[in-house]
A and B are shown apart, each in its own frame.
Chain A
Amino acid sequence: MTYRRLPGKKRGIGHWSTLWMGDDHLLSVSSNGYSESYTRFYFKDIKAVVARRTNRGRMWNVILGMMLGVSLLAFFSSFGDGTTSWSVTMTILAFLLLVGLLVNTLRGPTCRCHILMPLGIHELPTLGRIRTVRKVLDRLRPLIEERQGTTVPDDAVILPSPPPSDEPVPMPVAATSRPAAPMSSAGAASSYRGSAHYAAFSLLIVHAFLGVTILEYHGTPFLFAYGLLTLGLLVCLVTAVVQQYSHPFPLPARRLVWGALLAMACAIPFGYYVGIFLSAMKTVEKANPAMDMKGIVSTITANPFFPICMVFFSACSAIVGALGLITCLRGKGAVDDAGRRNGVITTKDAVP
């Protein structure tokens, strides 16, 4: 029997789980390095796969975002202290946290996945992300259909939806009275109306304005406000990315959010390291190892590339912000839902 590895891995303290695909079954492997235990799910018996969305990913984003905020605040609070090692440490920490935040966001929403077999329901711990579930199902679907066929009964089966209790569940009834209707996008499962998107695009415009202002007035209050605004913008963008993953939203707005987030993810570390490099060069030139933050700031702002970069980034921010706001306002009604969700159905709708 040859096994091929499927995406996804669940790591715990001293143990981990992986998922493998055999010729006629799915193999869930739990290992601690010294022993392995196997659970097989034969393709001919798999009845359903259910992934329930969880808040684990969002929770990690909040934690990482808060830590990032604290490290950025610590970085900005070191202005004028004359200690560069602290700011360098905070920069590295902020960069690592930002990478963690981005990776967690890019991996998509989290979930808990269960597989329904003839004799029970089993958890698939390796499938902890919706994206992984989709990938695995795309690979398994042809094999399962090969074993089970693709015949679908004519009568849709709909289960009534009693409140959760230990009472026995009524038997399924044929859907003769009323088919389950997909929910309209307006009422799609939550009340999100794009607040994070509006906030992010608005902050982008303010960010652009403040960026140009800094060219003329680069005092500590302006720089502090600029840093705080950058932090707020990051939080808004990450929130918008998370929200647009699970809620229908116009495609151009989604792309603009992604573009802005990626641009910021590149620009922030770039700016930090260029600043550190320039200040280090200046320190070497002046043979003054205890150069303070004001000196660093003045070194950076005195560089001829600084205004060019600031104007460029501010222009980009303003354009993206304005375009984003226009797209959001225009696309309020028209929601691009294709390819992501085939309609959200509630059990309330499904009850005949």
Chain B
Amino acid sequence: MTLPKARHDAVVCGGCGTPVPLLPRTGLKWLRCAGCDGELLVETFPALFRGRRASSSGELLGTDGESGCFYHERKKAVAVCEECGRFLCSLCEVRLGGKVLCPVCIERGREAESLEALVTRRTLYDGMALSLAVLPLLLFFVTLFTAPLSLYFAIRFWNRPGSILPRTRIRFVLAILISLLQLAGWGFVFMEMARHA
């Protein structure tokens, strides 16, 4: 949902985008919007009242004995990347998921999806495998083709990172079991046909 044009440093009505009056933080407050007359339940936090934090551009090297940043030679190192061990100035130092990382390691982690804090999308192969195993049961003859496919999905993507939320592999297990049962059923059908022929 896109709200009407409004400032991002003001609390606005979710319906019309009209700024609403603010009071010092005292928990949940009922307010009434002057724009659309809607009732608003508002809770504000100290971050709203803080000004923008000034970003540090890194301190210059003072003496010869000080270590410099790997990426900015003339700036003083203040941290070490926990992935690659490079010295970092305050400009390059990024704290993410409780770790200090450099921009290059963050980019690598984003590409390899190894940094969970940067993952914005995941494919759920277990759900796909289970659907491939269960849904075709409505048209049972399709299972001859979908059961091997479901089995392939379950085995191929068993170790692929799935959801970042707590989730077991029960869907993979069920998909494998149902697919094997379907294949066993088809095997039985073919054997019976062969016997009658």
Contacts and interface: CB of A to CB of B under 8 A. Distances in A.
A111 B120 CA distance: 27
Nearest to B18: A164
Interface of B: 1, 3-36, 38-49, 97-98, 116-117, 119-124, 127-128, 131, 163-166
Contacts of A103: none
A151 B165 CA distance: 33
B154 to A, nearest CB: 14
Given A47-B45, A158-B21, A166-B5, A342 B117 contact: no
Contacts of A50: 11-14, 20, 40-42
Given A50-B12, A111-B41, A151-B46, A34 B128 contact: yes
Contacts of A149: 46
Contacts of B13: 50, 52
Of the listed residues A118, A120, A130, A145, the one surrounded by the most CB atoms of chain B closer than 10 A to its CB is: A118
Interface stretch (A294-302, A326-334, A343-351): A343-351
Nearest to B39: A53
A172 B12 CA distance: 13
A29 to B, nearest CB: 7
A34 B32 contact: no
A157 B31 CA distance: 15
B38 A156 contact: no
A12 to B, nearest CB: 13
Contacts of A172: 10, 22
Contact of A45 (B1, B5, B11, B47): B47
Contacts of A134: 28, 41
A342 B14 contact: no
25 contacts: A3-B166, A29-B165, A34-B127, A35-B123, A39-B120, A48-B11, A48-B48, A50-B13, A50-B14, A113-B14, A117-B8, A121-B12, A130-B41, A152-B24, A152-B49, A159-B10, A159-B22, A163-B35, A172-B22, A342-B26, A344-B31, A344-B39, A346-B32, A347-B21, A351-B21
A349 B116 CA distance: 47
A94 to B, nearest CB: 33
A48 B128 CA distance: 38
A196 B36 CA distance: 25
Contacts of B97: 1
Contacts of B33: 52, 347
Q: Which residue among A117, A121, A134 has the maximum number of chain B CB atoms within 10 Å of its CB?
A: A121
A282 interface: no
B3 to A, nearest CB: 6
A315 interface: no
Contact of B21 (A27, A111, A117, A159): A159
A38 B6 CA distance: 25
Contacts of B6: 121, 169
Contact of A34 (B22, B45, B131): B131
A29 B19 CA distance: 28
Contact of A2 (B25, B27, B119, B166): B166
